[in-house]
Amino acid sequence: MEEFRNIGIIGRLNSNKVIETVKRLNRYLIDEGYHVILDDRIAEVMPGHGMQVSGVSLLGEICDLVIVIGGDGSLLGAARALAKYNVPVLGVNRGRLGFLTDISPDEQMCDAVQSVLDGEYVEERRFLLDAEIKREGNPIASGAALNDVVLHPGKSARMIAFDLYIEGQFVYNLRSDGLIVSTPTGSTAYALSGGGPIMHPRLDALVLVPMFPHTLSSRPIVVDGKSEIKIVIDASQDIYPTVSCDGQTHTPCAPGDSVTIRKKAHKLKLIHPKNHNFYEICRTKLGWNSSVGD
């Protein structure tokens, strides 16, 4: 087990509850003798904190552990920035669902964090995706995603026509509202609402979910996680769709552009309390019926 001494804290902005949780956890860690570094964005809204401050990249370089306080969206942003540093990331849930941020901010929060710091945790490696957009063969933009890369109409209400290739092999030409390319981590997010399957986080696989396709025979496809996915936007149409990564970064595209999606070289080191159970989280967050042990 790793020794955690230098601990970074990242908090979701524009939330008084997050600020309260950051302050509480910060006091506890300092009292216990840990060295705490605040992300510079959350530090700006905490005047007089007197703490060491750094940007998220430096947190990745100097910290033994980074704690993200917020919702899954906050952790998605941190994951994209921190994965290449191989620093463990722990989430405290101050959002809604909390598939990734699984420590509750209740009276036992500090005890739960301390158990992790004492080595009582499980570690997962979650892979991310790289997306590269090319125009006339030249790269014009790129992005990364822990959950999903989505081609969608943007502000338009019209369908997109595109060709799909997997590992260089033509799959189909489709007219739809777009396509979701999701990791197992993202299978419980946007892909799930689009009718995709739930995939266990340890799977090395991708799921491709068409969004409202113009044919009843188009269904989600699960492929090897090492597959290269290529989407070519039909050059004959006059719609300008958007590629979004984790719903947080957005790139406008043009007819004829191509989007290539492949697994990122670096994985996120995500840690959970010892009692973490993926199926229990699904039962709780998705409202599955439970009977055993009730």
Q: Is there a binding annotation on residue 291?
A: no
Q: Is there a binding annotation on residue 185?
A: no
Q: Under 8 Å CB-to-CB from 76, ≥6 apart: which residues?
A: 100, 145, 146, 147, 246, 248
Q: Is there a binding annotation on residue 147?
A: yes
Decide if 185 contacts 201 (C-beta within 8 A).
Answer: yes
Strands 148-152 and 35-39: unpaired
Backbone angles phi, psi at 48, to 5 degrees: 75, 20
Q: Is there a binding annotation on residue 114?
A: no
Decide if 62 contacts 111 (C-beta within 8 A).
Answer: no
Q: Is there a binding annotation on residue 191?
A: yes
Q: Is there a binding annotation on residue 256?
A: no
Q: Is there a binding annotation on residue 190?
A: yes
Q: Is 118 a catalytic residue?
A: no
Q: Is there a binding annotation on residue 168?
A: no
Structure tokens at 158: 């019209």
Q: Is there a binding annotation on residue 188?
A: yes
Q: Is there a binding annotation on residue 246?
A: no
Catalytic residue among 31, 39, 72, 106: 72
For 86-115, b where at least 16 C-beta lie within 10 A, e where not — what string?
ebbbbbbbbbeebbbbbbebeeebbebbeb
End-to-end CA distance of the chain: 34
Backbone angles phi, psi at 94, to 5 degrees: -125, 25
Strands 205-211 and 178-182: antiparallel
Q: Is there a binding annotation on residue 192?
A: yes
Q: Binding site for NAD(+): what residues are annotated?
A: 72-73, 147-148, 158, 175, 177, 188-193, 248
Q: Binding site: what residues are annotated?
A: 72-73, 147-148, 158, 175, 177, 188-193, 248
What residues are annotated to the active site? 72
